[in-house]
Amino acid sequence: MCAMPTRDAGTARQRRVWDKAASSYDRQIGLFERIWFDGGREWLGARARGRVLEVAIGTGRNLPFYDPALRVSGVELSPAMLAVARRRAADLDRPVDLCEGDAERLPYDDASFDTVVCALSLCAIPDPRRAIAEMHRVLVPGGELLLLDHVGSTWPPLYALQWLVEQVTGRSAGEHLTRRQLPHVEDAGFVVAERQRLKAGTIERIRAAKP
C-alpha cells in the first residue's frame, strides 16, 4: 500500500524541483531523447516481465513501451509529475497503480515485484546507493532490475565538461552528470546480466538479477 514519504532535506528539495518542472518536462526531455537517449525506453519495455515497479516514474513516459499484459506500478516523489503520469495512463487506457513515494524508502513489501525499472532518475536521487538497495529489497528472488541513466563519459574531455556542468546542476537541481550506478548495483548483491555503454560512454543500460 502506498504511504506518504518521510522527507529529509534532500528529498524535499527534489520534490520542489520536479514539481516545478512537471508542466514542461515532457517538452524539454523529448529533444534529448531523440538525440541522446534514443531507443532506451524501448530497451526497458522489451525486458520487463511479470509484476513491474517503475521507480521515479515521472510523467510516465515509459508506459507506452510496456506490454499491456504486464501489471505495472509506479512510484514518484513529485505529486505534480505523478498527476501527468495519471493523465498519460488514462489516455493510454492503461491501468497502472501509481502512488507518491520516495525511492529511498519504497512503500512496498519485500519481494513484491518481478521487475524493477528506473530510467534517467538515479542521477538526481540524493542517495542512489540506498535507492538501489530498496529496489533489491522489493524484488523477488530471480527478479530483474532494469536501469537506464546518463553517466560519466569514457572520453576524458567530455567527462571534464560534464563535471563542469555538474557544478551548477548539482547545486541548483541535485542533478549529477558523472555518477555511475554499476558499483552500487553490484554492492547491493545483484548479478549483472547485460550492460551497454553508448554515446561516448555517457549512457548506460543495465539488466541485473537478484539471486
| Structural domain boundaries in the chain | 9-150+178-209
pLDDT digits 0-9 by tens, 92-126: 999 999 999 999 999 999 999 999 999 999 999 99
102: nearest Cα among 7, 1, 189: 7
Instruction: Give the pLDDT confidence score for residue 24 in this predicted structure.
Output: 84
Give me 10's grid cell: 534532500
pLDDT at 78 over 90: yes
Instruction: Give the pLDDT confidence score for residue 112 in this predicted structure.
Output: 98
pLDDT digits 0-9 by tens, 137-196: 999 999 999 999 999 999 999 999 999 999 998 888 888 999 999 999 999 999 999 999
Instruction: Give the pLDDT confidence score for residue 12 in this predicted structure.
Output: 83
Instruction: Give the pLDDT confidence score for residue 9 in this predicted structure.
Output: 67
What is the C-alpha to C-alpha distance for residues 55 and 48, in angstroms, rounded to an integer? 13
Query: 140: buried, middle or exposed (CB in 10 Å: 19+, 13-18, 0-12)?
Result: middle
For 9-150+178-209, CATH number out of 3.40.50.300, 3.40.50.620, 3.60.10.10, 3.40.50.150 equals: 3.40.50.150
Confidence of residue 7 (pLDDT cuts 50, 70, 90): low
What angle do the packed helices 79-91 and 9-35 form, to 10 degrees?
Answer: 40
Instruction: Give the pLDDT confidence score for residue 3 in this predicted structure.
Output: 54
pTM value? 0.93
Confidence of residue 19 (pLDDT cuts 50, 70, 90): confident
